[in-house]
């Protein structure tokens, strides 16, 4: 690392001291988050004059920072055997992540991931039916949008309803009506808890739980929110169990119950079922909804991009049918824009934490067994060595000179290696079908001038939360 950022101005003095504590058996130097280039973290951490790392480590700073893609991909992919674990997260904080598939490790992780991938394939990603389900949900969303009658509104909950219904159809076997009070309450709890988990308070609590569990503050609300959501899932599991037909499983819950019955000593337990279901809900609802909201913001800030997408829709899809996944390969600019939306929104900037399982040598440093590792995906998604115009929203980052879609190895919003996001294919399908279905019929317009629209995250921590905004949807 070349430079080390200072903590935010509003960081309490006691917190600054905690950040500078050097754990036992760790290399000398500050334990604050390092960075190789001031601009990479500028949108997450307020910058003062960077403090040179050789002040602490006596190491010479290289003139050119290392390639972030090479560093992270090499560590995650080639050291997978050394880093299969996720660090233990404070139970009172985000206990719902343990021992679900996201934060599991060892044999538990292997069983749960294999099972989750199989169910997503059989009930979602690998079936033709999932495409038709997304198309139908997109039409329901359009119908709700049209009810706004060109008036300004906040799209957050309608988008959350739509994307959550896709994961509901896989997990529960059915969708909810948008006006269902129980469904709306679940989405409210999920939205609020996701936002709270991304605040500085929540991250500090997870690091210093023994000290802060007795201190009043917003962090104490998180367990209540997650506990209520877990109760909702537990009730749905019980409802499914009463009508379970082992020979004809209907959804994720049924498949888990069948696995539990066939192999009582496996990881198919009630606890794992509840927690893995919540894992899928968060990944399939909040990250998707956030990406779509960022997408609408970027398209309104750059109306020329939206017009180019509409031109492709007109030429490839027309207006006599709904967009289909087969259209994507014929719409390079649209595909590039969706990739750029994901790159700029950077949904999980710090990735999911890992932990090394044995002493590991990497780039001249010895990383002791048990060290928590945070592969900073933001540094890759903003790497000037990998993208032509990394500091701006530019679909050209994914287009070649002939205007053809061009894959980029630095596009890693889903992480990399064996911990790659379970629902990558599902997310890509939803983003394409929801956005093209919307732009085929409606034009998103801001109530204020486009240049006044905020695009910086409202909260940035575990996740990037979009700022609040309103828009008007005008018919084509």
Q: Distance (Å, rounded) from C-alpha 162 to C-alpha 118?
A: 23
Q: Distance (Å, rounded) from C-alpha 87 to C-alpha 458?
A: 27
The tens digit of pLDDT for each residue in 337-365 reads 999 999 999 887 777 766 777 787 777 77
> Mean pLDDT over residues 457-464, rounded?
81
pLDDT band at 98 (very low <50, low <70, confident <90, very high): very low
Q: Distance (Å, rounded) from C-alpha 325 to C-alpha 333?
A: 15
- Higher pLDDT, residue 238 or 32: 238
On average, the pLDDT of the chain sits at 75
Element of type H or E holding 366: strand 365-367
The tens digit of pLDDT for each residue in 13-46 reads 544 444 444 444 444 444 444 444 333 333 333 3
- Tell me if residue 122 falls in helix, strand or coil: helix
State residue 73's pLDDT score. Answer: 59
Q: Is 366 annotated as a binding residue?
A: no
- Higher pLDDT, residue 268 or 36: 268
Per DSSP bridges, beta strands 365-367 and 459-460 are unpaired
pTM to 2 decimals? 0.75
How is 250-301 classified by DSSP, letter by letter? -SHHHHHHHHHHH-TTSS--HHHHHHHHHHHHIIIIIHHHHHHHHHHHHHHH
Domain 66-475 annotated CATH 1.10.630.10: yes
State residue 21's pLDDT score. Answer: 46
Lowest model confidence (mean pLDDT) among 166-170, 182-186, 267-271 = 267-271
Helical ranges in 283-441 per DSSP H: 287-301, 303-316, 332-345, 377-381, 424-441
The tens digit of pLDDT for each residue in 280-306 reads 777 778 889 999 999 999 999 999 999
Q: Is the pLDDT of residue 456 over 70?
A: yes
User: Which of the listed ranges 9-18, 103-112, 149-158 does the model predict with the highest average pLDDT?
Assistant: 149-158
State residue 68's pLDDT score. Answer: 58
How is 416-432 classified by DSSP, letter by letter? -GGG--TTHHHHHHHHH
- Domain spans of the chain, in order of start: 1-65, 66-475
State residue 9's pLDDT score. Answer: 54
The tens digit of pLDDT for each residue in 409-449 reads 888 877 666 655 666 788 899 999 999 999 999 999 999 89
Q: Distance (Å, rounded) from C-alpha 451 to C-alpha 393?
A: 13
């Amino acid at each position: 690392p070349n430079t080390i950022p200072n903590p935010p101005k509003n960081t309490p003095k006691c917190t600054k001291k905690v950040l500078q504590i050097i754990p036992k058996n760790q290399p000398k130097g500050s334990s604050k988050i390092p960075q190789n280039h001031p601009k990479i973290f500028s949108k997450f951490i307020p910058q003062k004059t960077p403090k040179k790392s050789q002040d602490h480590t006596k190491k010479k700073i290289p003139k050119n920072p290392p390639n972030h893609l090479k560093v992270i991909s090499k560590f995650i992919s080639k050291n997978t055997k050394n880093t299969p674990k996720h660090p233990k997260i404070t139970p009172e904080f985000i206990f719902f992540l343990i021992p679900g598939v996201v934060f599991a490790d060892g044999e538990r992780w292997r069983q749960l991931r294999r099972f989750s991938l199989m169910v997503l394939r059989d009930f979602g990603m690998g079936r033709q039916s999932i495409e038709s389900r997304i198309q139908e949900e997109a039409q329901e969303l359009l119908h709700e949008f049209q009810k706004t009658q060109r008036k300004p509104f906040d799209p957050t909950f309608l988008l959350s309803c739509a994307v959550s219904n896709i994961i509901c159809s896989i997990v529960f076997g059915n969708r909810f009506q948008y006006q269902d009070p129980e469904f709306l309450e679940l989405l409210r709890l999920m939205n609020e808890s996701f936002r709270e988990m991304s605040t500085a308070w929540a991250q500090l609590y997870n690091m210093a739980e023994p000290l802060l569990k007795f201190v009043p503050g917003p962090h104490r609300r998180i367990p209540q929110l997650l506990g209520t959501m877990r109760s909702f899932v537990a009730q749905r599991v019980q409802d499914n169990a009463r009508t379970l037909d082992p020979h004809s499983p209907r959804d994720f819950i049924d498949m888990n119950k069948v696995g539990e019955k066939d192999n009582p000593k496996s990881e198919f337990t009630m606890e794992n079922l509840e927690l893995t279901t919540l894992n899928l809900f968060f990944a399939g609802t909040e990250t998707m909804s956030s990406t779509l909201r960022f997408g609408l913001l970027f398209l309104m800030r750059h109306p020329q991009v939206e017009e180019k997408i509409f031109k492709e829709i007109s030429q490839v899809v027309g207006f006599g049918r709904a967009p289909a996944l087969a259209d994507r390969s014929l719409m390079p600019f649209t595909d590039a824009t969706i990739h750029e939306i994901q790159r700029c929104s950077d949904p999980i900037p710090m990735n999911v934490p890992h932990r090394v399982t044995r002493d590991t040598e990497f780039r001249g440093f010895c990383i002791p067994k048990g060290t928590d590792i945070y592969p900073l995906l933001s540094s890759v998604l903003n790497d000037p060595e990998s993208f032509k115009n990394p500091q701006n929203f530019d679909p050209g980052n994914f287009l070649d000179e002939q205007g053809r879609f061009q894959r980029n190895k630095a596009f890693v919003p889903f992480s990399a290696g064996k911990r790659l996001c379970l629902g990558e294919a599902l997310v890509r399908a939803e983003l394409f079908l929801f956005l093209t279905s919307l732009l085929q019929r409606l034009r998103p317009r801001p109530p204020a001038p486009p240049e006044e629209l905020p695009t910086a995250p409202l909260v940035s921590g575990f996740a990037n939360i979009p700022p609040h905004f309103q828009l008007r949807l005008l018919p084509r």
